[in-house]
Amino acid sequence: MPIIISRVQIDDIVLLAVQSCFWNGANAVPVLIERRADIVFYYISVIKISRILIKSDRVLETEPLGSDMGVEIERVEEDETWNRLVERSPQTCPFHRYEALSIQAAHTGTVAHPLVGYVGEEAVGLFPLFELSRGPVEFVFSPPPELRVSYLGPALLNGSGLKQRKRERRQHGFVEGCFEWARSSFNPRYGHLRLRGCYEDLRPFLWNDCEVSPSHTYLVDLSAGKEDLLLSFSRDARSNVRDSQDASYTIEQGGRTAIYDIIEQVARRYERQGISYNVTPAFVTELATRLPEGVVRPYVLRLGGEFVGGLIALDDGETVYRWQGGVRTDTDTDVPVNDLLDWHVMTEAIDRDRTAYDLVGANNPRINRYKAKFNPDLVPFYSVEHGSPLTTTLARVYRWAKELP
Task: Please report the DSSP string for 346-380 in residue order.
Answer: HHHHHHTT--EEE-S----HHHHHHHGGG-PEEEE
pTM of the model: 0.82
- Phi then psi for residue 234, to 5 deg, are -65, 165
The predicted model gives 296-314 an average pLDDT of: 96
User: 116, 76 in Cβ contact below 8 A?
Assistant: yes
d(CA 201, CA 390): 28
d(CA 15, CA 27): 18
Confidence of residue 162 (pLDDT cuts 50, 70, 90): confident
- Average per-residue pLDDT for the chain: 84
Please count the other Cβ atoms lying within 10 Å of the Cβ belonging to residue 184: 11
Closest CA to 94 of 251, 321, 286, 354: 321
- Phi then psi for residue 58, to 5 deg, are -120, 20
pLDDT > 90: what percent of the chain?
Answer: 72
User: Does residue 330 or residue 89 have the better pLDDT?
Assistant: 89
65-209 shares its CATH topology with 217-380: yes
Delimit the domains of the chain by residue range. 3-55, 65-209, 217-380
CATH of domain 217-380: 3.40.630.30
**pLDDT for residue 266 is more than 80:** yes
d(CA 290, CA 365): 35
Strand, coil or helix: 61: coil
User: 190, 142 in Cβ contact below 8 A?
Assistant: no
Amino acid at 395: A
Q: Does the domain made of 65-209 have the CATH classification 3.40.50.720?
A: no
The alpha helices in 157-234, defined as continuous H runs, are 164-185, 203-207, 226-232
pLDDT of residue 160: 79
Confidence of residue 135 (pLDDT cuts 50, 70, 90): confident
pLDDT, tens digit (0-9, with 9 covering 90-100), for 3-57: 444 334 444 444 444 443 433 333 334 343 333 333 333 333 333 333 333 333 3
d(CA 144, CA 65): 27
DSSP string, 31-49: EEEEETTEEEEEEEE-SSH
d(CA 362, CA 368): 6
Confidence of residue 400 (pLDDT cuts 50, 70, 90): low
The predicted model gives 66-92 an average pLDDT of: 88
Using a 10 angstrom Cβ sphere, with 0-12 exposed, 13-18 middle and 19 or more buried, the burial of residue 52 is middle
d(CA 318, CA 329): 29
Amino acid at 362: A
Buried b (16+ CB within 10 A) or exposed e, 247-279: eebebeebeeebbbbbbebbbebeeeeeeebeb
Confidence of residue 144 (pLDDT cuts 50, 70, 90): very high
Using a 10 angstrom Cβ sphere, with 0-12 exposed, 13-18 middle and 19 or more buried, the burial of residue 98 is buried
User: 187, 53 in Cβ contact below 8 A?
Assistant: no
d(CA 125, CA 92): 11
pLDDT > 70: what percent of the chain?
Answer: 79
Strand, coil or helix: 284: helix
pLDDT of residue 60: 38
pLDDT, tens digit (0-9, with 9 covering 90-100), for 223-252: 999 999 999 999 999 999 999 877 789 999
pLDDT of residue 58: 34
**Gyration radius of the chain's alpha carbons:** 23
pLDDT of residue 396: 65
